[in-house]
Each structure stands twice: as structure tokens, then as C-alpha cells.
Amino acid sequence: MLYRETGQFKTSYSADQAIFPIFQDKIFILVWLVIAFVAVPLIASEYWFQVILIPFLVFSLATLGLNILVGYCGQISLGTGAFMAVGAFSAYKIATNVPDLNIVFVILLSGLITAGVGILFGLPSLRIKGFYLAVATLAAQFFLIWVFNKFGWFVNYSPSGSIAIPPMKIFGVIVTSAKADPVARYFLALCFTVVLALLAKNLVRGPTGRSWMAIRDMDIAAEIIGIKPLATKLKAFAVSSFYIGIAGALFFSAWLGTAESDAFDINLSFDVLFMVIIGGLGSIAGSFLGAAFIVLLPILLSNIFVGELGFAVLTAKHIETMFFGGLIIFFLAVEPHGLARLWQITKEKLRIWPFPH
Amino acid sequence: MSAVENARQTHSEVLLDVDGISLSFGGVKAIRGVSFNIMKGEIRAIIGPNGAGKTSMLNVINGFYHPQEGKITYKGETRRRMRSHVAARQGIARTFQNVALFTGMSTLDNLMTGRLLKMREGILQQTVDMLLQAVYLGPAKRHEMNERKYVEEIIDFLEIEAIRKVPVGRLPYGLQKRVELGRAIAMEPDLLLLDEPMAGMNLEEKGDMSRFIIDLNDQYGTTIALIEHDMGVVMDLSDRVLVLNYGEKIADGTPAEVSANQDVIDAYLGVS
Amino acid sequence: MELLYAVFVAPFVDMFSYPAFFAEVVLGGLTTGVMYSLVALGFVLIFKASGVFNFSQGVLALFAALTLVGLMTGTMPFTLKTYSALALPEWAAIAVTGVVMVGLAYAIERIVLRPLVNQDEIILFMATIGLAFVLEGLGDMMWGSDVKALDVGIPTGSFEVKGVLVQVFDLWAAGIAAVLVVILAVFFQKTKIGRALRAVADDHQAALSVGIPLKTIWIAVWSVAGLVALVAGIMWGSKSGVQFSLSLIALKALPVLILGGFTSIPGAIVGGLIIGVGEKIAEVYWGPLVNGAIENWFAYVLALLFLLYRPQGLFGEKIIERI
């Protein structure tokens, strides 16, 4: 009864193409934005910012990026961790070498650098497909981490091998490093995430998104109708890496404040891939759902198993690993479009509620 | 205008000339030294028993297969091999026997993909276009609206308004074929290659499809080559017919000439 | 100039000046290569017979090794306590583990493969990633995640041939691998069930329509792959102890398969040997120039180069796309 489209007729193509054509959806998103920008900063504790909210935003961005490559364009990648590292280390080098540059530009530049690296490692995708491409991205993953490990230049020759973000300001407010207020760091991540999500949504709805999906669904047919495969795939790699690089830069500067190359290993690549699968391949909203799920789940599990049931921490970790694996299989078998599709089905049911059919 | 009247219209300009094409896969010779041409504005049927090499011939024309011998002259330019996306951009569109639609997308989106070959090339232009699309301002928005309007005309023409937003994977076969035709039309082709467009359709659907093909040829002047098994359709629609058997050409002429040809009757038509 | 010399000349000079050492490096590489091949064999089996790329093959090997050690030490699963009364002799433990692997194959068919029967290969691939995680967590929970020693009685010791040190264990490893390859090759080419497997790999639905029992075939294949994983697990575990890093071998097997071709049993061997030797030589002779750890990425970059010039690998089948 609440979620009806009755009376909402579109009289122009532009109204039909809007992101949220149904009025109730517009309200829904506005409510969330108000919560994110106004309510949360007022009531969330530091624990919430550090452990839940900021990582949720960072991983949402990374998942968005990977979803563009895997979910929209159908090119599998296991190199997400390494590309986040590229973003993080770029941010570090730029911030320390050009101290007057605003953090926003530092992060954007890091994204661009990562996009360049992504294009480079995406070149093989013209000749290689499927899990062969996965192996090529593994080459990127292992090679890049090795590079960051071995060459001291990347860490400014620090003996600890780790990088730390210097405090940087926007409009006089410190937004990075331990000196910054968690709320400030939260806003930094939030603004990037909201803007980039909107840009992504526009991009995938338009010609570029359609060319990606065509390549994904049947790349031979796509070429036959005039889509240039290499250009399209490289665009996917570029945009995807841009997002992942920014996620990496924020991972480093807004969330942790420090980082070392081992934090960006293959496990991180798997984590983000799982977020994409569980959230829903080829869905912008799904990327957020998947990231939320995987950020929150370990906390939930450890609260239950360690907190309530008294299992050892290690056992809880094993259970968590098994649970993730099982969840992946479950989602792929039952609902390959993930939580996003489940959400859509809920909305469909809402449209006819309270009637059963 | 029926095909008979069409035939009285002289088609005098050669759009496509196929010269001595041979194609083999490993040891299998799919096409042996076939030569023919297609005049601008005509409807050309290609018929023959299964395995005669008809689909392979279409694949060669649009650059999907590369022949070992022979050459193709299209719009005055001669070449042997061409990448399929280049062929598309030069105005060759086609449909497939097994329907090659993008199953993850709706009818509308599938038709819109047919417009993608109009996208600007060049690295700088593509980057700028992507940025504009991401922000959905000005030129990007106008472009999208124009494409939408164009595609809606095709939707009107093919009478598929009701299934605009349906994911094509869910459509029945006959409708899928229609959507695929729509996608090919959206490419604004000069040469439209149709691979068994009537396959699996009932009488009414065949009538609709025939009407679309004739209208395309009449109103928009699209040159059409179609592979077809229904001889009634071939006789009614086409200006000239090419007959293939075992990869070789065995007849080439008007429908009347071809159906009277003894070789063709032996190989394919049989006695009625 | 000095850099060019160091990269392009000095390592080769080293190799030829100390041939005995070079031979030992190559032997070491071959042994590692054999280990990779054993894991790659399991991959090829499953891919040949079901078109599924089984990311969890390495974890299967780990799980098999863990189970074996657990049985041999009399560990009670999940409680991690050992009771010497329950400890089994090697041959019994191996047999029981074999049965466990078959049981596991049955479970995998039921829970993972059947629900996903008509899906894209990428989906199945990602499902096997999920499977790898499940098995890893399960193995750790059942048998504990600390490093364990494994000794099934493979002879150790070494001897010298013309100044080159040869390990007895390595010879046994090579021998066992060779026997395994011969058995599998014969199985696939000559037997009825081998033919059926090849049909299934080609086209599930077509195989079903000629009456090939898909379910049974898959259980059979995954069982065989599980037993191959057991052999791999025994060899790796005996050599370097049973630990988590065993499952990382799965990742290394990918380049092996790319070199050898995904559908070729001899290719798995040749690919494994090339990767094993290549890695070792790169690490020993070029490693010092860049502070080491080339082994981390060498195999993958080699595979990448191969993919660009010969995507089907040395022995794989060329892929022709039809529409």
C-alpha cells in the first residue's frame, strides 16, 4: 500500500531515465543521506567510526570499483589488493613530496595513477578471458606487492617498512592521521563515497555501461555490433582501478593512518571479491550491501561465538572462514545477483503488499 | 510494394562484391570459390541445404571469419579480412540463427547497444565522453535522450512497446528474434544480413517479420541479404536468389529462374 | 653498463663455472616442480571431466594431509586431543583418508556442483573459491592449524653422483608422480568411464542426453582428484610439514596449468617442471640482484607472457569460437 507506483506516469524520456523513478525510492535515499550526513556524526561513538563506518565506506568504494570490472564488464580480477596498495602508496608519496597539495587532490591523483597501472595490467585482457585473466591479475597482485616490499623508495626508506599519513587539512580541519577527529575522517570518506557512487551510477546507466554489459554478456556479439573490445575493456580497467585506488588511498589516509605492503595481500583481493558476489554482481547498491555485510559479519560472529558462547578466538576465526565460503556458494547457487536482487524482490513484494499476489 | 514491383526497379549499383571466396576450418572446406554480388537496395536471398556454407558466408562478409582465398569489395573498397567491429562501423549489421542478444539487459537496453557504434573514437574524446556521462550533464544527457528517441521509433516500427523493460532472456523466441532485428536496425546499416529470421515462427509471426523486412527495404532503402528456408518467403520477398550447395554456388538469378533450375531442384527444392 | 652485465652475463657465468651447484639447483627445482605437478594433475582431472576449474584443489591436498596426520596421531577431531590408542598405522591411515576424500567428493557434488549445474564457468570458479575457504576452516577446526610433521615412511637420505648431491626422497617423489601420470593417462584414454568423462567435459547436456549419469561421473572425478590431492598432500607434507601454506600451492598451480594447457595430463607435468626449475634458477641467480623473493611472482609473470603468445599452453587444445 505504501510502495505503489499508481499515478506515477512518466511523460518524458528524461523522467523515465532518472535514477530513482519511483517517488518512494527518492525519499528512501534522501532519508539515508540525511542519516549519513547529519544523524551519524551526532550519535556515533569512536568505536563505531573506526571499526564499522569508515571501513564500510572504504570497502564500498573498493567493491564499487571491482563490481564495475567483474559485475558490469565480466572481467575477473584477483588483483584488487595490489591496486589498493598502489592507491595507498601513491597517496603517501604525493603527500610527503608535495606537502602543500590538498588531500582531496592527493587522493584523486592516487586514483589516476592506479587507473594508469590498471590499464597496463588490463592490456592482456584482449587476448585472455575468464580464469586465464584471473591468473594475469594474480601476476599483478604478487608482482606489485613484491615491488612495494623490496624498494625502499616507496616507504621513504623508513626502517619499519610501513607508511604513515601526515596530518592534512581541509578548510582548516585536520582530516587525516591520528590527530584527526574520527568525525572528520568519516566525512572525508563519506563525501568521496557518495560523489563517486553517483558518478558510477550515471556511468553504468549510459553508453559506457551498456558497452561493458554487452562485452560481459556476449563479447563476440558485442564486437559484431561495432563495440571495440579493447577500448571497452581498458575503460573498465581504468575506471575500476581508479575507484580501487581511491579506496586504497582512503584505506590508508582516512581509516588506518598507517599501512604496510602486507596489508594488501591476496586475502584483501578475496575479501573484496566476496563483497561483490554477496552484494550482487552488476549492482551499485549491491556493492554497498556486500561491503556492509562483510564488514559487519566478523564482528557479529565474534560477538556471538566468543562473547556469548565462549569459543576460543581462533575457533571463531575458523568458523568465520567456513561461513564466508559457505555463503559464497549459497549466493552463487541460489541468488547470483546477491543481496541486491534479494532487495529488489523485497521491493516487488512491497508493491503488492498487503496482498499476497 | 511487392517484390515483383521491386524487381522492376533497377538496382544498378553494386554494394557488395564477393570474389572467389574460399574458407576452410582445418580440413573442412566450408566455402569453395564462391563469387556473387549484392546490388544496393535489393533483397537478396541465400538458400541451400544445411551445411551448404550459408552462415559461413555471412560470417565472412561481416568479418567474423577470415577466408583463406578471395576478396570482398564493399562500398568500393576491396579487402580480404576485416575485423567485425570495423565492418559494423562501415554499415554491415546482422542477426543470428541462434539469437545473440545480451541476456542480462532489457529490450530497450539491447536496442540502445545498437547505437554504440556511433560513439566517438579517439582516446581524448572517449575520456571526455566518459566524464560527461558520469556527471550526466549537458551533451551527455542530450545524447542519451536523442538515442532514446531514435530507439523508440524502432520500437514503434517493430511493435514491441509492451516488452521494453523486460530482460530479453525472458522473452519467447519469436520476440527475441524481433528484438535482435531491432538492434541491427538501430545500427543504421547499409547492408543488413539476416540469418534465418523466420526460423521457429508461426504463420502470423512470419507475416509480421516479412512486413518489417519489406518496409525496411522500401522506406529506408536498406539492402538486405537473408538466409531463409521457407521458399514461399523467398519467392515473395527477394529480388534475386543465390543457391549454395556443399560450399559451392549452383545457381544465381531471380526467384523464378532459380526455382526452375534443375540443379537446384535436385539438390534442394525437390519436386512439388 | 655494470647493470647490464650483472643481469645478462654474470648469472650465466656463475651457472657454468659451478656446474655441480647448478645441477643441484635444477634438481631442487625439479622436485618442487613435481610437487606442483601433483597438484596441477588434480586440476586437470576435474577440468577435463567437468569443465570446472577447481580452485580448492590445493586446500583438498591440505585437508587430506591434515586428516592423515590426525589419524596417524590418534587425534579426536574438533577436540584436538590425541589418544595413542586411536593412532593408526600408516597404511590404515592412508586408506581411511582415501575413504574420507571419496566421501568429501560425494558431499561436494551434492552441495556445490548440483545446485550450480548449468551456470557459467566463472560462477563455478568462484564457487570453488568459496569451497576452498570452507575446507580450510573445516580442516583447521577439525585437526588444528599448527604445523605438523608427516612421516609415512618414504625413504630419506642422500647420495652423491659426480659431485652433485641427490636426495632419495626427491627420487621417490618423481617416481610416484610418474606412476600416477601413467595410471591416469591410461584411465582416460582406454577405459569406458574415461570416455564418459571426456564427453561430460565437452557438453553436460549432451552427455546427459546420451544417458551418461552426470552425478556418478562427477563423484567419480572428484574422488579421483581427491585421491590425487592425498598423494600431493603426503609428498608436500613429508617434505615441508603440513601447514596452511600448502593451500597457497593452489595458486602456484595456476601458472603451471597455463603453461601446460588446462586439459593435458602430460602438460601438467611438463608445466610443473618448467615452473619449478624456472623459479629456482631465477631466485638463485637473479634474486640477489633485487634482494630476493622473485619466487613470489616469477611463475605468474611467466604464465602471463605465455598467455599473450600461446593462450592454450604447450599441450592444450586450441579454442575456436563459434556463433
Taking the C-alpha atoms of residue C292 and residue C281, their distance in angstroms, rounded to an integer, is 12
Q: How far is C53 from chain A (nearest CA, A)?
A: 8
Cβ-proximal residues to C18 (8 Å cutoff; 6+ apart), any chain:
none
Residue C322 has pLDDT above 50, yes or no: no
Chain A residue numbers with beta carbons less than 8 Å from the beta carbon of B88 are: 223-226
- B25 with C320: Cβ contact below 8 A: yes
Chain C residue numbers with beta carbons less than 8 Å from the beta carbon of A149 are: 293
Taking the C-alpha atoms of residue B182 and residue B107, their distance in angstroms, rounded to an integer, is 9
The predicted model gives C75-87 an average pLDDT of: 75
- A321 with C137: Cβ contact below 8 A: yes
Q: How far is C143 from chain A (nearest CA, A)?
A: 11
Residue C146 has pLDDT above 90, yes or no: no
pLDDT above 70 covers a percentage of chain C that reads 95
The predicted model gives A82-91 an average pLDDT of: 95
Read off the pLDDT of residues B116-147 as tens digits, 9 standing for 90 and up: 988 888 888 888 888 888 888 788 888 888 99
Chain A residue numbers with beta carbons less than 8 Å from the beta carbon of C301 are: 139, 143
pTM as predicted: 0.87
The predicted model gives B225-252 an average pLDDT of: 90
Chain B residue numbers with beta carbons less than 8 Å from the beta carbon of A200 are: 134
Read off the pLDDT of residues C84-131 as tens digits, 9 standing for 90 and up: 777 777 788 888 888 999 998 888 888 888 888 777 777 788 888 889
Residue tagged 531471380 (cell numbers): B254
Tell me whether A326 touches chain C (CB under 8 Å): yes
C-alpha cell at B110: 539491447
Which of B162-176, C117-131, C309-323 shows the lowest per-residue confidence on average (mean pLDDT)? C309-323
- Interface-testing mutation among C57, C63, C126, with chain A (most A C-beta atoms within 10 A): C126
Q: Is the dihedral of CA B206, B207, B208, B212 positive or negative?
A: positive
Output the average pLDDT for chain C. Answer: 81
Tell me whether C4 touches chain B (CB under 8 Å): no
Nearest one of B82, B54, B113 to B234, comparing CA atoms: B54
User: Which of B85, B100, B147 minimises the CB distance to A226?
Assistant: B85
- B109 with A224: Cβ contact below 8 A: no
Q: How far is C56 from chain B (nearest CA, A)?
A: 29
Q: Are A166 and A158 in contact (CB under 8 A)?
A: no
- C residues 284-323 near B, CB within 8 Å? 320, 323
Q: What is the largest CA-CA distance in chain B?
A: 65
Residues of C near A (Cβ–Cβ under 8 Å) read 53, 111-112, 115-116, 119, 121-123, 125-127, 129-138, 140-141, 145, 251, 254-255, 258, 290-291, 293-294, 296-297, 300-301, 303-304, 307-308, 311, 321, 323
Among left, alpha and beta (phi > 0; psi -120 to 50; other), residue B195 is beta
Tell me whether B150 touches chain C (CB under 8 Å): no
Residue tagged 577446526 (cell numbers): C141
HEC states along chain C?
CHHHHHHHCHHHHHHHHCHHHHHHHHHHHHHHHHHHHHHHHHHHHHHHHHCCCCCCHHHHHHHHHHHHHHHHHCEECCCCEECHHHCCCHHHHHHHHHHHHHHHHHHHHHHHHHHHCCCCHHHHHHHHHHHHHHHHHHHHHHHCCCCECCCCCCCCCEEEECCEEEEHHHHHHHHHHHHHHHHHHHHHHHCHHHHHHHHHHHCHHHHHHCCCCHHHHHHHHHHHHHHHHHHHHHHHHHHHCECCHHHHHHHHHHHHHHHHCCCCHHHHHHHHHHHHHHHHHHHHHHHHHHCCCCHHHHHHHHHHHHHHHCCCCCCCCCCCCCC
Interface contacts A/B by beta carbons within 8 Å: 108
pLDDT computed for residue B1 by the predictor: 45
Output the average pLDDT for chain A. Answer: 86
Q: Are C242 and C151 in contact (CB under 8 A)?
A: no
The predicted model gives A195-222 an average pLDDT of: 91
Interface contacts A/C by beta carbons within 8 Å: 128
pLDDT computed for residue C294 by the predictor: 83
| Bridge-based pairing state of the strands B43-47 and B240-245 | parallel
CB atoms within 10 A of CB A237: 26
Chain C residue numbers with beta carbons less than 8 Å from the beta carbon of A224 are: 323
pLDDT above 90 covers a percentage of chain C that reads 1
pLDDT computed for residue C323 by the predictor: 45
B240: confidence class by pLDDT, cuts 50, 70, 90: very high
**Which of B131-135, B212-216, C108-112, C259-263: highest mean pLDDT?**
B212-216
Residue B196 has pLDDT above 50, yes or no: yes
Chains near B (3 or more Cβ pairs under 8 Å): A, C
Chain A residue numbers with beta carbons less than 8 Å from the beta carbon of B114 are: 225
- C132 with A318: Cβ contact below 8 A: no
C-alpha cell at A18: 532518472
B259: confidence class by pLDDT, cuts 50, 70, 90: confident
Read off the pLDDT of residues A336-351 as tens digits, 9 standing for 90 and up: 788 888 888 888 787 7
Tell me whether B136 touches chain C (CB under 8 Å): no
Nearest CA in chain A to B123: A231
Q: What is the rounded radius of gyration, in angstroms, for the C-alpha atoms of chain A?
A: 21
